[in-house]
Amino acid sequence: MTAEAVVTGRPVRLLRMLYEKGNPITIYSFRIKQNELASQLGISRQALNVHLRKLRDQGYIRTGRGFIDVTEKGLNLLGISANPAFVFIKISPLKREKAYEEIFTFPIQRVYRVAGDMDAILVIEREKLDYALKMLAGVEGVLDTRTYIAIQTLK
């Protein structure tokens, strides 16, 4: 049986409460075993654990079995804004498929296909916005763009 177990009752109420009372945050999750990461950095696993513990204790990362999350505080330390930019794009219907393929290679966090006056919304780190807009200007079939920059997360 490959179907997921059905979750109802109290666990669903708990999940809903966590969602409703939680704060939206931006994280970057990295799935890797610590021995692999230590090897990539050219240090011992013990040395890696010392560095990870220091970053975790200061709130820059969260760790668990097989993953490391860079928190908003960690992003801020790196000079990366947690408030993204949104680029709304209109694409010629005849060039849409090829345009999406090219856009997927850009430094973007997410792409949403939407219905309405625009065809897609790109979510981009503010620090990468200028570069992404220059790349977007060269995409054949892009008819219009509108850019909005988030200044604060309210909820």
pLDDT tens-digit map of 73-100: 888 888 777 788 999 999 999 999 999 9
Pairing of the two strands 110-113 and 67-70: unpaired
**Averaged pLDDT of the chain:** 88
pLDDT tens-digit map of 28-40: 788 888 889 999 9
| Residue % of the chain over a pLDDT of 70 | 97
Residues 58 and 97 in one domain: no
Supply the pLDDT for residue 3: 61
What is the CA 106 to chain-centroid distance, rounded?
13
What is the average per-residue pLDDT within 45-73?
91
Residues 63 and 90 in one domain: no
What CATH number should be reported for the domain holding residue 65?
Answer: 1.10.10.10
Q: Give the chain's domain count.
A: 2
Beta strands in 33-149 (DSSP E): 61-64, 67-70, 85-91, 110-113, 120-124, 142-149
Range of the domain at 136: 85-149
Choosing from 33, 51, 77, the residue where a domain stops is 77
What is the three-class DSSP state of 12?
helix
What CATH number should be reported for the domain holding residue 108?
Answer: 3.30.70.920
Supply the pLDDT for residue 116: 94
5 found inside a domain: no
- Identify whether the C-beta of residue 98 lies closer than 8 Å to the C-beta of residue 92: no
Supply the pLDDT for residue 2: 53
What is the CA 48 to chain-centroid distance, rounded?
24
Residues 98 and 70 in one domain: no
Between the CA atoms of 45, 50, 55 and 61, what dihedral angle is there, to the nearest 10 degrees? 30
Cα–Cα distance for residue pair 15/32, rounded to 1 Å: 27
In the block, which residue shows the tokens 């990295």? 30
Q: 60 Cβ partners below 8 Å, 6+ apart?
A: 70, 71, 73, 74, 77
